[in-house]
Structure 1
Amino acid sequence: MPFVNIKVPEAALTRAQKAEIVHRATEMLVEYFSEAARPHTMVLIEEVKDGGYARADEVFVIPDAYRARD
């Protein structure tokens, strides 16, 4: 079973954007593994809370400009 795990900042994506990512990731894996993989493909989008990750020793908080607007 193909498994994709995507981590994004909390509130960075709308529900529609998440659905599109799931669809596109599934389509990509079907291209590689065949249509038989579709019903067994798992795509997990994990939202990481602000302050829950860092880059170059700097704890990251998502800027308001990057927050999803439903």
Structure 2
Amino acid sequence: MPFANYKVPQAALTRAQKEELIHRTTDLLVEYFSEAARPHTMVLIEEVPDGGYGRADVVFTVPEEYRASDD
């Protein structure tokens, strides 16, 4: 079973963007493994709270203007 796991900043993606990411990832994996993989493909999107991730000793938070809105 193909499995993809994305970790993204909390509130960075809208519900529609998450759905698109799931569909596009599934399509990508089907290209590699054949259509038979579609019903067994798992895509997990995990949202990491602000301050729960970083790079090179810099802790990240998502600026308000970059937060997704489901409006």
TM-score bracket for this pair, using the shorter chain length = over 0.9
Greater Cα offset, 57-66 or 29-38: 57-66
Number of residue-to-residue matches in the alignment:
70
Paired position in structure 1 for 2:21: 21
TM-score, structure 2 as length reference: 0.95
SS at match of 2:6: strand
Map residues 3-42 of structure 1 onto 2, 5 A cutoff. Answer: 3-42=3-42
State the shift of 1:10 in Å.
0.1
Give structure 1 stretches of 5+ with no counterpart: none
Give structure 2 stretches of 5+ with no counterpart: none
State the shift of 1:56 in Å.
1.1
CA RMSD of aligned residues (A): 0.6
Mapped to 2, the partners of 1:10 and 1:68 lie a distance apart of 9
| Deviation by residue 1:4-37 (Cα, 9 ceiling, x = unmatched) | 0001000000100000000000000001000000
Mapped to 1, the partners of 2:39 and 2:54 lie a distance apart of 35
| Structure 1 segments of 4+ aligned residues over 6 angstroms from their partners | none
1:2 is aligned to 2:2: yes
TM-score, structure 1 as length reference: 0.97
Paired position in structure 2 for 1:62: 62
Paired position in structure 2 for 1:45: 45
